[in-house]
Structure 1
Amino acid sequence: MSKKEKKSFSLPSAYTVLLSITALIALATQFIPDITAAKFSDLVMAPINGLNEAIDIAIFVLLIGGFLGVTAKTGALDAGIGSVVKKLEGKELVLIPVLMFIFSLGGTSFGMAEETIAFAALVTTTMIVAGFDPLVSVATLILGSGSGVLGSTVNPFLVSTSIGALNGVGIEANQVIIIGTAVALWLSSLAISTYFVMSYAKKVKADKANSLLSDKEFNEAKEAFLGNKEEVIEFTGKRKIVLSLFALTFIVMVLGIIPWEEFGVTIFTKTDFLNGSSLGNWWFSELSMWFAIMSVIIGLVYGMKEQEIVSSFMNGAADMVGVALVIGVSKGISVIMSSTGLDNYVLNAASSMLTGMSPIIFVIVALIIYMILSFFIPSTSGLAGLSMPIFGPLAVSLGFAPEVIVSIFSAGSGIVNFVTPTSGVIMGALAIARVDFETWVKFVSKVIAAVFVSSAIILSIAMILL
Structure 2
Amino acid sequence: MSLPEKAPEVSSNRKKKWEMPDTYVILFAVLLAAVIATYIVPSGSFERETLDGVERVVPNTYASVEGEPAGFMDIFLALQEGMVQSGGLIFLVLFAGGAFEVIERSGAIKGGILRAVDKTKGKEFWLIAIVSILFALGGAVGAVANSVIPFVAIGVIIARALKLDAIVAVSITFGATFAGFNVGFLNPYTVGIAQSIADLPLFSGMALRIIAFVVIVGVTILYTWRYAKRILNDPSRSLIGVLDEKDASQDELHAPFTARHKWILSFVAVALAFFIFATIQYKWTINHMAAFFIIIGIVSGIIAGMNYNKIALTFLDGCQKLVYGALIIGVARAILIVMENANILDTAVHALSVPLEGLSPVMAALGMFVANGVMNFLIPSGSGQAMIAMPILSPLADMIGVTRQVAVQAYQFGDGFTNSIFPTSGPLMASLAVAGVPWIKWAKWMLPLLLIWVVIAVIMLTVGVLISWGPV
TM category (shorter chain) comes to 0.5 to 0.7
Give the aligned partner of residue 155 of structure 2.
130
CA contact (8 A) 1:124 1:134 kept: no
Q: 1:92 to 1:14 in 2, by over 3 A?
A: farther
SS of match in other structure, 2:40: coil
Provide the residue aligned with 1:294 in structure 2.
Answer: 299
Alignment of 1:251 onto 2:286: no
Q: Write the letter of the residue equivalent to 1:389.
A: D
C-alpha deviation, 1:183, in angstroms:
9.0
User: Which residue of structure 1 lines up, in the alignment, with residue 160 of structure 2?
Assistant: none
Say whether the 8 Å CA contact 2:152–2:169 is kept in structure 1.
Answer: yes
Structural mapping, 1:387-406, within 5 Å? 387-392=396-401
Q: Is the 8 A contact 1:127 1:134 kept in 2?
A: yes
Q: Are 1:140 and 2:142 matched, yes or no?
A: no
Match of 1:23 among 32, 37, 49: 32
TM-score by length of 1: 0.59
Tell me which residue corresponds to 1:364: 363
Cα 1:389/1:457, change in 2 over 3 Å: closer
Identify the range of structure 1 (198-207 vs 447-456) with the bigger mean alpha-carbon deviation: 198-207
* Partner AA of 2:130 in structure 1: L
Identity %: 17
- d(CA) in 2 for partners of 1:445, 1:234: 35
User: Does residue 92 of the first structure (1) align with residue 92 of the second (2)?
Assistant: no
Partner of residue 319, structure 1: 321
Distance 1:297 1:180 in 2: 33
> CA distance change for structure 1 residues 20 and 240 in 2, over 3 Å: closer, same or farther?
farther
Deviations 1:308-343 (A, max 9, x none): 444434434333333333444344444444444443
Render the CA deviation track for 1:336-359: whole Å, top value 9, x for unaligned.
4444444322221222224455x5
2:83–2:331 contact (8 Å) kept in structure 1: yes
Larger Rg: 2
Structure 1 residues 324 and 349, CA, compared in 2 at 3 Å: closer, same or farther?
closer
Note the C-alpha offset of 1:144: 2.0
- TM-score, normalised to structure 2, is 0.58
The residue that corresponds to 1:345 in the other structure is 347
Q: Which residue of 2 aligns with 1:223?
A: none
Rounded to whole Å, the distance in 2 between the matches of 1:327 and 1:34 is 25
Distance 1:333 1:434, change over 3 A: farther
- Contact persistence 2:138–2:180 (CA under 8 A): yes
Q: Cα 1:68–1:31, aligned 2, differ >3 Å: closer, same or farther?
A: same
Match of 1:409 in 2: 407
Cα separation, partners in 2 of 1:296 and 1:65, compared to 1, 3 Å: same
Q: Are the aligned partners of 2:370 and 2:414 in contact in 1 as well (CA < 8 Å)?
A: yes
Assess, with a 3 A threshold, how the Cα gap between structure 1 residues 182 and 322 changes in structure 2: closer, same or farther: closer
Query: Are residue 240 (structure 1) and residue 259 (structure 2) matched?
Result: yes
Distance 1:229 1:52, change over 3 A: farther
In 1, the alpha carbon distance for the partners of 2:467 and 2:276 equals 35
* RMSD between superposed Cα atoms in Å: 5.4
**Residues 396-425 of structure 1 deviation map (CA, whole Å, 9 limit, x = unaligned):** xxxxxxxx666863553233222689xxxx
Q: Distance in 2 between matches of 1:10 and 1:338?
A: 33
- 1:143 alignment partner AA: A
Contact kept? 1:259, 1:281, Cα under 8 Å: no
Distance 2:97 2:461 in 1: 40
Alignment-mate amino acid for residue 23 of structure 1: L
Structure 1 match to 2:94: 62
Gaps of 5+ in 1: 1-6, 105-111, 150-154, 166-174, 212-227, 270-277, 393-403
| Alignment CA distance shift 1:33-1:144 (3 Å) | same
Q: How many correspondences in the alignment?
A: 380
* Separation (CA, whole Å) in 1 of partners of 2:25 and 2:39: 22
User: 2:410 is aligned with what amino acid?
Assistant: G
Q: Distance in 1 between matches of 2:213 and 2:307?
A: 47
Q: CA deviation at 1:245?
A: 1.9
**Pick aligned residue for 2:84 from 52, 55, 60:** 52
- Distance in 1 between residues matched to 2:229 and 2:86, nearest whole Å: 37
Counterpart of 1:378 (choices 375, 386, 408) is 386
In structure 2, distance between residues paired with 1:250 and 1:431: 30
Matching of residues 252-271 of structure 1 within 5 Å: 252-258=271-277, 261=280
User: Which deviates further from its counterpart, 185-194 or 251-260?
Assistant: 185-194
